[in-house]
Amino acid sequence: MSYKIYEINEEFLDVMPQEIKDLQFKATWGNPKRGVMDLPYSKELIEEHSLCAGCPESMALRYILASLPNPEDTIIVNSTGCTSLVFPHIALHTVHSLFGNQNAVASGIKRVLEWRFPDKVKDVVVLAGDGATVDIGLDCTLQSFFRQEKITTICFDNEVYANTGGQESGLTVKGHVFKMAPKGKQWDKVPMWQLAIDSGCHYVARLTVSSPKRVETVIKKAIYVAREVGPTYVHLYTPCILEIGLNSDDGLDEMRQRDKERFAFFEYVSEPAKEVIERKKEEGLL
Amino acid sequence: MQTSTETVIYNRAGQRVVSPDYLLFEAPRTKHFMTGSEAVKEAVKRASVDASVSYPITPQSEAAHLIGELWVEGYVGVYFRGESEFGVMSEIAGCAMAGARTITTTSGPGTLRAFENFPMWAGTRIPVQLVLMARGVNSPLSIQPDNLEVGFLLDTGCMIWYAENAQDLFDMILAGFVVAEQPDVHVPVITVVDGFFVSHTREAVMLPPDDIALPPYNPYKAPMPVIDAEVPPGRFLRDPFVMKSNYISYATHASWQWEVRSAIERSRPYAKHYLRGLVEEFGDPSAELVFVACGTAAAQSKEAVRLLEEEGIKARVIKLKTIRPFPIEELRQAVKGAKYIFVPEFNVVGWLEREVRRYLYGHSDAEVIGAPRVAGGMTMPAEVIVKEVLKLTGKEVKHVI
């Protein structure tokens, strides 16, 4: 890897906004112990990003970006949707190709990087919304688990197609009225965390992003296990406050509510994954 | 030829690396008898391919199996079966973005299932090669040869080359990587053959030795940074969104579209060199009756020229090797003196006739006749082509049933 990747061309430095410069000068590269406690002093996502004011997804992104153990050698693959809008506002290698094929693109990238750089650690992380992960992209998502691709899949579950204006998704709660479900959604929320376990993921977690430290631990576990064992899946509740009619400062409360019910913290760890997690704890990395 | 003062370089498979010119033009060749699918294998074997992902669909499956065998034998670095053509073309994109020389194959409906990926490939400027063994796509279901899908692919921003036979296919696959990977080109290449007619029939193919191969792909020469976190510049989204509604974003999007198409234009001199010209001419150069065709329609037209000769009618064939870029100047030159231009095709819509008319408009006084045209797997006997010509002259001929 090369730290130069994250450097702004010197000739452009004087015209770059301070925020963009901060992405370089306040980054925490090269430290596997980095985490959410660095957030007050570091910069992961610029303030003027494209998400709505108070969007819990922006919180989630900041926690995840701060928690990547190996950001300088991490490729993030994302999909069409609200998530994809913020990727121009971070300083990491990211790929957006189409809607729903994120796990397939990530599979290709991971396999080739593993083949081209057998002696280096290159993490590949998929980050997409519920529409991309569980609806249009479910085939690609599950098949990457079946194939035991060594990638981490993170789903931002806001229970709606948010970026297209609020249509019900596979993860919308039954009965909820959204556009394209004018009589209320007719069937239950897809239990994606369970599908992930049944499809071969070695580490699966379901949680909200109301607790930064917990997000950090989950993300680190998921990435370490994916690196050594096989696919891992993290399901994060990031409510679309706009579509469910909340104020921009209500996101955190909404997540704290759901913490106690349908997003109660849940974690699955396979036997080989347990070994990795224990070892990483001993190494002081978890 | 290598001399003693030169360092001999081997690729990962242990093959001696030679220049594309040596491999394509100078290396001694021996005759082999094989199917089009096997010709794909032989080309991939000599192409220092890094990655391939497969999905079964007739008639390309055999070629995809054979690439898998090459993976087992160590000639291909990464190989697996994807979940669908959409998945495969996405995985292929990932492989290429991560810096691999990448190839895959598909046919018919699979092409359409994967379709969203082709403009994405072109827009991402990855030099992927897709070997398309063309087959029917319409309902009712057909697995028979038909090249309608090529009409859909023409404007995806990918180069489209068309092989007439197994020999063409072998040479085009090797040349395809060389041209697609030129830094000033660097767009995908779709190498087309008519499924079954070429993929499943055996013919003589002249092959260079299999212990030599193309120089490996160097992703650091690409005009777009490779996604491997090794080289700057890297802080980018691939590709950046241009979704803000303002003139700068409109212009950004539009200029990128033009850039992709300009990249195809810049492939002309390379394609001309490695394919020995963008068109091939056959028959009497003074003939006023001209067939413009590609693929097996060109082969059948050549046969028709022979039949017509026996009837005292002079004719010639202009075979198009590339459709994107379209050999505009070559075609305009070649049809000088033509009175009648027949465009025989293996599809129902006549996409090649449209292309020929478009590029000859205002440049030729010849009458363009979009016939004969077959579809749904029918062969195009040379007699059918002859019959079309005879309709024009009103002459009865013994060859025509």
- Cβ distance of A109 and B94 shorter than 8 Å: yes
pLDDT at B1: 54
**What CA–CA distance (Å, rounded) separates A220 from A223?**
5
Give the closest of A5, A97, A105 to B235, CB-based.
A5
Name the percent of chain B lying above pLDDT 70: 94
Give the closest of A96, A106, A111 to B237, CB-based.
A96
pLDDT at A48: 84
Over the stretch B244-297, which tens digit does the pLDDT of each residue have?
677 888 888 899 999 999 999 999 999 999 999 999 999 999 999 999 999 999
Over the stretch B138-180, which tens digit does the pLDDT of each residue have?
888 889 999 999 999 999 999 999 999 999 999 999 999 999 9
Name the percent of chain B lying above pLDDT 90: 85
Shortest alpha-carbon distance between residue B285 and chain A (Å): 48
Please give the residue that has the higher pLDDT: either B401 or A261: A261
**What CA–CA distance (Å, rounded) separates A155 from A172?**
14
3-state secondary structure of A204: strand
pLDDT at B208: 98
Please give the residue that has the higher pLDDT: either B208 or B252: B208
Bridge partners, residue A62, by sequence: none
**What CA–CA distance (Å, rounded) separates B126 from B94?**
10
Give the closest of A7, A95, A112 to B232, CB-based.
A7
Comparing alpha-carbon positions, the chain B residue that sits nearest to A137 is B87
Fill in the amino acid letter for A51: L
**What CA–CA distance (Å, rounded) separates B359 from B13?**
44
Share the mean pLDDT of chain B: 93
Closest CA relative to residue B317, chosen from B329, B328, B303: B303
Give the closest of B50, B78, B227 to A95, CB-based.
B227
- DSSP-derived pairing of the beta strands B289-293 and B202-207: unpaired
pLDDT at A8: 85
* pTM assigned to the model: 0.95
Chain A touched by B397 (CB under 8 Å)? no
DSSP A231-244: -EEEEEE---TTTT
- Cβ–Cβ under 8 Å, residues B41 and B63: yes
Chain A (87-126) residues lying within 8 Å, Cβ to Cβ, of chain B: 87-88, 91-98, 101, 104-113, 115-117, 122
Residues of B in contact with A10 (CB under 8 A): none
Q: Quick one: tokens of A71?
A: 């950001």
Residues of B in contact with A92 (CB under 8 A): 235
3-state secondary structure string across A91-155: CCEEEECCCCCHHHHHHHHHHHHHHHCCCCCCEEEEEEEHHHHHHCCHHHHHHHHHCCCCCEEEE
Q: Quick one: tokens of A20?
A: 């963009």
Give the closest of A23, A88, A106 to B241, CB-based.
A88
Confidence of residue B234 (pLDDT cuts 50, 70, 90): low
pLDDT at A1: 72
Q: Quick one: tokens of B320?
A: 């198009």
Closest CA relative to residue A160, chosen from A248, A267, A81, A105: A81
Count the alpha carbons within 13 Å of B125 in the hemisphere toward its beta carbon.
24
C-alpha distances in Å from residue B78, one per residue of A218, B38, B187: 31, 20, 21
- Cβ distance of B97 and A140 shorter than 8 Å: no
Over the stretch B81-109, which tens digit does the pLDDT of each residue have?
999 999 999 999 999 999 999 999 999 99
pLDDT at B222: 93
pLDDT over 70 (residue B59): yes
- Cβ distance of B237 and A94 shorter than 8 Å: yes
pLDDT over 90 (residue B117): yes
pLDDT over 90 (residue B16): yes
Comparing alpha-carbon positions, the chain A residue that sits nearest to B98 is A109
C-alpha distances in Å from residue A128, one per residue of A153, A163, A234, B223: 8, 12, 11, 28
Residues of B in contact with A1 (CB under 8 A): 229-230
A132-142 burial string, b = 16+ CB within 10 Å, else e? bbbbbbbbbbb
**What CA–CA distance (Å, rounded) separates A87 from B59?**
40
Chain B touched by A6 (CB under 8 Å)? yes
CA Rg, chain A, in Å? 18
**What CA–CA distance (Å, rounded) separates A233 from A245?**
29
For testing the chain A interface, which of B52, B76, B81, B97 should be mutated: the one with the most A CBs within 10 Å?
B97
Residue B369 CB coordination number (10 Å): 17
Residues of B in contact with A112 (CB under 8 A): 50-51, 77-78, 94-95, 98-100
**What CA–CA distance (Å, rounded) separates A132 from A138?**
7
pLDDT at A83: 86
pLDDT in tens, chain A (286 residues): 778 778 888 898 999 889 889 999 999 999 999 999 999 999 999 888 889 999 999 999 999 999 999 999 999 999 999 888 888 888 888 898 899 999 999 999 999 999 999 999 999 999 999 999 999 999 999 999 999 999 999 999 999 999 999 999 999 999 999 999 999 999 999 999 999 999 999 999 999 999 999 999 999 999 999 999 999 999 999 999 999 999 999 999 999 999 999 999 999 999 999 999 999 999 999 9
Confidence of residue B30 (pLDDT cuts 50, 70, 90): very high
pLDDT at B242: 65
Size of interface A-B (CB pairs under 8 A): 143
For testing the chain A interface, which of B54, B80, B95, B124 should be mutated: the one with the most A CBs within 10 Å?
B95
Residue B113 CB coordination number (10 Å): 18
- Cβ–Cβ under 8 Å, residues B98 and B91: no
pLDDT at A70: 94
Shortest alpha-carbon distance between residue A144 and chain B (Å): 9
**What CA–CA distance (Å, rounded) separates A271 from A261?**
28
Sheet strands side by side (includes A93-96): A266-269, A203-208, A232-237, A152-157, A123-129, A74-78, A93-96, B237-238
Chain A touched by B220 (CB under 8 Å)? no
- Cβ distance of A122 and B240 shorter than 8 Å: no
3-state secondary structure string across chain B: CCCCCCCCCECCCCCEECCHHHHHHHCCCEEEEEEHHHHHHHHHHCCCCCEEEECCCCCCHHHHHHHHHHHHCCCCCEEEECCCHHHHHHHHHHHHHCCCCEEEEECHHHHHHCCCHHHHHHHHCCCCEEEEEECCCCCCCCCCCCCHHHHHHCCCCCEEEECCCHHHHHHHHHHHHHHHCCCCCCCCEEEEEECCCCCCCEEEEEECCCCEECCCCCHHHCCCCCCCCCCCCCCCEECCCCCCCCHHHHHHHHHHHHHHHHHHHHCHHHHHHHCCCCEEEEECCCCCEEEEECCHHHHHHHHHHHHHHHCCCCEEEEEECEEECCCHHHHHHHCCCCCEEECCECCCCCHHHHHHHHHHCCCCCCEEECCCECCCCCCCCHHHHHHHHHHHHCCCCCCCC
Comparing alpha-carbon positions, the chain A residue that sits nearest to B238 is A95
Please give the residue that has the higher pLDDT: either A215 or B395: A215
pLDDT at B367: 96
Over the stretch B293-309, which tens digit does the pLDDT of each residue have?
999 999 999 999 999 99
pLDDT at B2: 54
**What CA–CA distance (Å, rounded) separates B185 from B26?**
25
pLDDT over 70 (residue B400): no
**What CA–CA distance (Å, rounded) separates B69 from B244?**
48
Comparing alpha-carbon positions, the chain B residue that sits nearest to A92 is B235
For testing the chain A interface, which of B83, B103, B117, B239 should be mutated: the one with the most A CBs within 10 Å?
B83
Residues B373-389 have a mean pLDDT of 92
Shortest alpha-carbon distance between residue A117 and chain B (Å): 9
A236-271 burial string, b = 16+ CB within 10 Å, else e? bbbbbbbbbebeeebbbebbeebbeeebeeeebbbe
Chain B touched by A183 (CB under 8 Å)? no
